């Protein structure tokens, strides 16, 4: 479906965003291997977490979906059962990588498949360390899905330094460590999102400038209640809209404010964005609060690289669009990982910015441009990528005659995004 984006004069009111995808995935998986009943409130209904839900159903678990709550009757870490059909991860890299860690320690065979996009994404980053642990796990000849896992009696503990920052790889290995013969330790030069650690009750230590987290197979995993906060990566799109549309005043409720995820707030505030935090509290180990955002005259002059890029990897598309309407330059390096997402996001961002009339310099690991220029509307491809579609949809509320192609892809992370954005507008 193609959508012509209407001009919006201002945005007002209280808005909600879907439950955090990262936390939803992990709550579903932890509930699946827990001893006893887990209740997950406000689980994301986006396509990716629903792929995880579908997979754990196939692994023989009793699950009740009550709408606002999902009840999982866990039988412990060895309580899963062999699926008679391949497990379908859909488009979800989180599903296939994290679930591989759990399945690597099982005593039955499994096959995990994905859609055409996921089947092109790199899996060597999990296959190599899992094989170091003794897992019998293989991808294709070029280390992509489908992934085949054969049973083992027990995995071996390892001490593993991540070659590149990846919360998915870290979490996959922590899950596998639950089935190992001793403590498995993961070392990061740059700390990535730490939801898995918080949810399993693991401690991260700073050793010689690196972040080290370990998991022992004796760690207890008991059924519990999970409250899923609003996804800050999804909230970023409405934050941007509120900042760039004159007269806007929005409250976004119950947003997750995990320290490893909130760098987007720091960057937007650095640009002069009027964003306040209200009603901040801790629920189930995760900081949560309301975000109050008002229209602001933004200044850019940003140069992002290194650890900042790791913290912002999901928000770079919408941050780039926000910088279109700010005075100054926007430059990003060390973002090569963007080329291995649902699409080559560097290429997608650069191409769409150019279609709007922005002069962009592209690098292998990033791009650069100047904001505050005059832009012209155009038909913009989404490349089937939810974050590209939503980001340039936000651009369209300020630029006349923007049409986004294949807009249904937003269901991957933000079902109902277009309705939420446009229904909240006074045009």
* Triad 181, 186, 189: Cα angle to 5°: 165
Say if 147 falls within a structural domain: yes
Say if 224 falls within a structural domain: no
Do residue 195 and residue 272 come from a single domain?
A: no
Active site residue 314: yes
Do residue 395 and residue 269 come from a single domain?
A: yes
Q: Read off the CATH number of the domain in which 35 is found.
A: 3.65.10.10
- Give CA torsion, residues 144, 148, 150, 151, to 10 deg: 90
pTM comes to 0.91
Of 219, 251, 286, which residue constitutes the final position of a domain? 219
Say if 156 falls within a structural domain: yes
The residues, any chain, with a CB within 8 Å of residue 153's CB and separated by 6 or more, are 107
H or E segment at 225?
Answer: strand 225-227
Say if 411 falls within a structural domain: yes
Q: For residue 318, which phi and psi values (nearest 5 degrees)?
A: -75, -30
SS3 (DSSP) at 146: coil
H or E segment at 138?
Answer: strand 136-138
Do residue 213 and residue 238 come from a single domain?
A: no
DSSP state for residue 177 in the 8-state scheme: H
Say if 27 falls within a structural domain: yes
Do residue 81 and residue 140 come from a single domain?
A: yes
Strands 274-283 and 69-75, by their bridges, are unpaired
Task: Give the number of residues written for the chain.
Answer: 427
Do residue 152 and residue 288 come from a single domain?
A: no
How would you list the strands of the sheet with 147-150, edge to edge? 87-88, 110-113, 147-150, 136-138
SS3 (DSSP) at 29: helix
Of 176, 198, 219, which residue constitutes the final position of a domain? 219
Do residue 234 and residue 285 come from a single domain?
A: yes
Say if 347 falls within a structural domain: yes
Say if 25 falls within a structural domain: yes
Encode 310-369 in three state secondary structure: HHHCCCHHHHHHHHHCCECEEEECCCHHHHHCCCCHHHHHHHHHHHCCCCEEEECCEEEE
The pLDDT value recorded for residue 133 is 98
Range of the domain at 205: 21-219
Do residue 307 and residue 215 come from a single domain?
A: no
The pLDDT value recorded for residue 425 is 57
Do residue 50 and residue 191 come from a single domain?
A: yes
Catalytic choice (115, 314, 334, 411): 314
Query: Per the structure, how many domains does the chain have?
Result: 2
Confirm if 32 and 71 have CB atoms less than 8 A apart.
no
365-424 pLDDT, tens digit each: 999 999 877 899 999 999 999 999 999 999 999 999 999 999 999 998 899 899 888 875
Say if 151 falls within a structural domain: yes
Strands 159-161 and 184-188, by their bridges, are parallel
Of 219, 250, 277, which residue constitutes the final position of a domain? 219
> Using CA atoms, how far apart are residues 327 and 305, in angstroms rounded to an integer?
20
Q: Going along 16-88, which residue ranges are E strands?
A: 35-41, 62-65, 69-75, 87-88
Tokens 């690597």, located at residue: 104
Which parts of the chain sit beneath pLDDT 70? 424-427
Tokens 């507008």, located at residue: 425
17-33 pLDDT, tens digit each: 999 999 999 999 999 99
The tokens for 330 are 């926007």
Do residue 211 and residue 261 come from a single domain?
A: no
Confirm if 177 and 169 have CB atoms less than 8 A apart.
no
């Amino acid at each position: 479906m193609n959508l012509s984006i209407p001009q919006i004069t201002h945005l007002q009111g209280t808005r909600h965003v879907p439950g955090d995808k990262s936390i939803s995935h992990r709550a579903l998986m932890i509930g699946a291997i827990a001893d006893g009943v887990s209740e997950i409130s406000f689980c994301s209904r986006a396509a990716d977490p629903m792929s995880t839900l579908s997979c754990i159903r196939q692994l023989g678990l009793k699950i009740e979906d009550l709408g606002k709550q999902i009840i999982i009757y866990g039988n412990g870490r060895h309580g899963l059962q062999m699926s008679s059909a391949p497990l379908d991860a859909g488009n979800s890299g989180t599903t296939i990588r994290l679930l591989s860690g759990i399945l690597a320690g099982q005593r039955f065979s499994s096959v995990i498949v994905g859609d055409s996009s996921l089947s092109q994404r790199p899996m060597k980053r999990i296959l190599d360390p899992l094989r170091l642990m003794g897992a019998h796990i293989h991808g294709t000849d070029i280390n992509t899905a489908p992934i085949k896992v054969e049973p083992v009696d027990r995995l071996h503990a390892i001490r593993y330094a991540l070659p590149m920052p990846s919360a998915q790889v870290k979490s996959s290995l922590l899950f596998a460590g639950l089935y190992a013969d001793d403590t498995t330790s993961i070392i990061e030069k740059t700390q990535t999102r730490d939801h898995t650690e918080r949810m399993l009750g693991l401690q991260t230590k700073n050793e010689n400038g690196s972040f080290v987290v370990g998991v022992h197979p004796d760690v207890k995993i008991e059924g519990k209640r999970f409250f899923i906060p609003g996804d800050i990566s999804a909230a970023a799109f409405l934050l941007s809209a509120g900042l760039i549309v004159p007269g806007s005043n929005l409250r976004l409720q119950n947003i997750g404010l995990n320290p490893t995820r909130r760098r987007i707030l720091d960057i937007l505030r650095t640009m002069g964005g009027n964003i306040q935090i209200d009603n901040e509290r801790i629920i189930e180990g995760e900081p949560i609060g309301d975000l109050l955002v008002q229209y602001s005259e933004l200044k850019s002059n940003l140069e992002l690289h290194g650890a900042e890029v790791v913290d912002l990897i999901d928000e770079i598309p919408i941050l780039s669009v926000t910088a279109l309407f700010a005075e100054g330059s926007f430059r990003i390096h060390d973002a090569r990982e963007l080329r291995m997402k649902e699409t080559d996001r560097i290429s997608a961002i650069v191409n769409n910015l150019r279609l709007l009339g922005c002069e962009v310099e592209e690098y292998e690991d990033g791009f650069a441009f100047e904001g505050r220029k005059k832009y012209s509307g155009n038909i913009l491809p989404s490349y089937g990528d939810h974050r590209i579609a939503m980001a340039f949809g936000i651009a369209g509320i300020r630029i006349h005659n923007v049409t986004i192609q294949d807009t249904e892809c937003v269901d991957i992370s933000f079902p109902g995004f277009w309705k939420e954005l446009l229904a909240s507008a006074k045009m």
